[in-house]
């Protein structure tokens, strides 16, 4: 069966979805492009041999599209996803699923009501480096997890924030460096460390003008397991450095930098780790090269679509869904609340 897709929101990221779908001839095709801006919808539809529409209901009725890829500004994701499901389509939602956990709950309720499948884009979950680290954690090869850090040390110029009226606004972006850019690495942190239960944080806007939200956020997190973590998310690190995830345990550690496994040390399940009086890097082998440490996937989104199409075809479940993304979004909005109030924030999920 060929799934017929409608892309909702024909902006910057939408072409990654259109390109990714081309990797699945016979399984997926782009039937419709929906945008409030008719020129954008038309020009993208022409490029990919699809039809252009101004709303999802008409697109579904006219083309028989049965899956929607939601690529609108973030604060409109939930509404677009619910409308798509009610019109009869399954949904792939760009990250983050929406700007608050409550809004994501509305999408979860619509999913339950309509029986549709929903995936949330988090393409780096499908990087070989991430898969290696998550597999090792599940196998107990890092031992008891002790701490994790998520660092997004990026730069976005003033021209970036000026390029779309929604960028960096509370209403449509849901936050700044942490919600928009940081959500990928925060999602990986949560996937590795488990449920976050408490967060403290500070935010600031220092290197940009006309920006409602933050361009730097730092926070400290406590996870359900008792492990702790830190977050540093910035678009004010000139000229732009790396995104880095570090996961540490009492039997091993992993460092992923720019989607590549750059340090990895694990103790096979059942083996004892040698007692080390004082350990520093260089003393123990870096096993990164022995694992799937090669370059990041050229198009990790293709791998997420492969997973989604398999689930749509009845094989397995969606690997990254609304509940996962909800935990990352709740952690991010919790950090914002902590920064606003100066108090630690308990997280409900
Ligand atoms: N996964 C990633 O790595 C990644 C990268 C970039 C952006 N994103 C996400 O993708 C989303 C879009 O970002 P972008 O940079 O492409 O934005 P953009 O501003 O370039 O595009 C958004 C498009 O949505 C259209 N739109 C707005 N409201 C609409 C509505 N109600 N119905 C239909 N169309 C509507 C706009 O006209 C515009 O064409 C954001 O949520 C962002 O976080 C994800």
Q: What's residue 18's pLDDT?
A: 97
Q: What's residue 297's pLDDT?
A: 56
Question: Which ligand 1 atom is the nearest neighbour of the CA of 166?
Answer: 19
Of 88, 57, 59, 93, nearest in space to 78 by CA: 93
Of 122, 243, 253, 233, nearest in space to 187 by CA: 122
**CB crowding 88-105: b at 16 or more within 10 Å, else e:** bbbbbbbbbbbbbbebbe
Cα dihedral sign, 85-87-92-93? negative
Q: Tell me: the pLDDT tens digits for 29-44?
A: 999 999 999 999 999 9
Of 61, 63, 100, 58, nearest in space to 78 by CA: 100
Residues of the chain scoring pLDDT < 50? 293
**What pTM does this model have?**
0.96
How many CA atoms within 13 Å lie on the side-chain side of 41? Answer: 20
Of 11, 332, 49, nearest in space to 167 by CA: 11
Would you list the domain boundaries of the chain? 3-120, 124-293+327-346
Looking at domain 3-120, what is its CATH homologous superfamily? NAD(P)-binding Rossmann-like Domain (3.40.50.720)
SS3 259: coil
Of the residues 16, 71, 180, which should be mutated to test ligand 1's pocket, given the most ligand atoms within 8 Å of the CB? Answer: 71
106 C-alpha vs ligand 1 centroid, how far in Å?
A: 20
Exposed, middle or buried by CB within 10 Å (0-12, 13-18, 19+), for 314?
exposed
SS3 18: helix
Q: What's residue 244's pLDDT?
A: 98
305 C-alpha vs ligand 1 centroid, how far in Å?
A: 18
Q: How far is it, in rounded angstroms, from Cα 348 to Cα 51?
A: 43
Q: How far is it, in rounded angstroms, from Cα 29 to Cα 24?
A: 8
Per CATH, 3-120 and 124-293+327-346 having the same topology is answered no
Q: Tell me: the pLDDT tens digits for 290-331?
A: 876 455 556 889 999 999 999 999 999 999 999 999 999 999
Q: Is the CB of residue 63 less than 8 Å from the CB of residue 29?
A: no
SS3 266: coil
Q: Is the CB of residue 149 less than 8 Å from the CB of residue 230?
A: yes
33 C-alpha vs ligand 1 centroid, how far in Å?
A: 13
CATH classification of 124-293+327-346 is 1.10.10.10, yes or no?
A: no
Ligand 1, residues at Cβ distance < 6 Å: 8-14, 34-37, 40, 71-74, 76, 80, 94-95, 121, 123, 164, 180
Q: How far is it, in rounded angstroms, from Cα 264 to Cα 330?
A: 29
> In the 8-state DSSP scheme, what is residue 142?
T
Q: Is the CB of residue 120 less than 8 Å from the CB of residue 322?
A: yes
Size of the chain, expressed as the number of residues it contains: 349
120 C-alpha vs ligand 1 centroid, how far in Å?
A: 14
72 C-alpha vs ligand 1 centroid, how far in Å?
A: 4
Q: How far is it, in rounded angstroms, from Cα 339 to Cα 40?
A: 38
SS3 263: strand
Token readout for 73 is 């500004």
**236 Cβ contact list (under 8 Å, min separation 6):** 155, 177, 206, 207, 208, 215, 216
Displacement of CA 131 from its chain's centroid (Å): 15
Q: What's residue 203's pLDDT?
A: 98
Q: How far is it, in rounded angstroms, from Cα 67 to Cα 30?
A: 9
Residue 266 phi/psi, 5-degree rounding, is: -130, 160
């Amino acid at each position: 069966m060929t799934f017929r897709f409608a892309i909702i929101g024909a902006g910057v990221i939408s072409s990654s979805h259109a390109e990714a779908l081309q990797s699945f001839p016979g399984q997926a095709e782009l039937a419709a492009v929906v945008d409030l801006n008719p020129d954008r919808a038309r020009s993208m539809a022409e490029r990919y041999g699809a039809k252009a529409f101004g709303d999802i209901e008409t697109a579904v009725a006219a083309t028989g599209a049965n899956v929607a890829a939601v690529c609108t500004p973030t604060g409109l994701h939930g509404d677009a996803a619910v409308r798509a499901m009610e019109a009869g389509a399954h949904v792939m939602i760009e990250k983050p699923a929406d700007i608050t956990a409550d809004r994501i709950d509305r999408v979860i309720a619509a999913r339950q009501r309509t029986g549709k499948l929903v995936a949330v884009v988090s393409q780096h979950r499908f990087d070989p480096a991430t898969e290696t680290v998550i597999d090792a954690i599940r196998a107990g090869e890092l031992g008891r997890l002790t701490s994790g850090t998520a660092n997004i040390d990026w730069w976005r110029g003033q021209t970036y924030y000026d390029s779309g009226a929604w960028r960096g606004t509370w209403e449509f972006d849901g936050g700044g460096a942490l919600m928009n850019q940081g959500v990928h690495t925060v999602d990986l942190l949560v996937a590795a460390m488990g449920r976050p239960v408490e967060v403290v944080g500070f935010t600031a806007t220092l290197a940009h003008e006309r920006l409602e939200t933050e361009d730097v956020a730092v926070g400290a997190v406590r996870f359900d397991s008792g492990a702790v973590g830190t977050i540093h998310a910035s678009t004010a690190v000139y000229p732009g450095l790396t995104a880095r995830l570090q996961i540490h345990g009492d039997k091993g550690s992993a460092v992923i930098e720019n989607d590549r496994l750059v340090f990895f040390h694990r103790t096979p399940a059942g083996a004892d780790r040698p007692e080390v009086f004082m350990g520093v890097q260089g003393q123990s082998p870096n096993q990164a090269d022995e694992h799937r440490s090669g370059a990041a996937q050229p198009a990790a989104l293709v791998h997420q679509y492969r997973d989604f199409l398999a689930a749509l075809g009845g094989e397995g479940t969606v690997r990254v869904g609304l509940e996962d993304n909800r935990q990352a979004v709740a952690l991010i909005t919790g950090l914002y609340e902590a920064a606003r109030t100066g108090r630690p924030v308990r997280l409900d999920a």
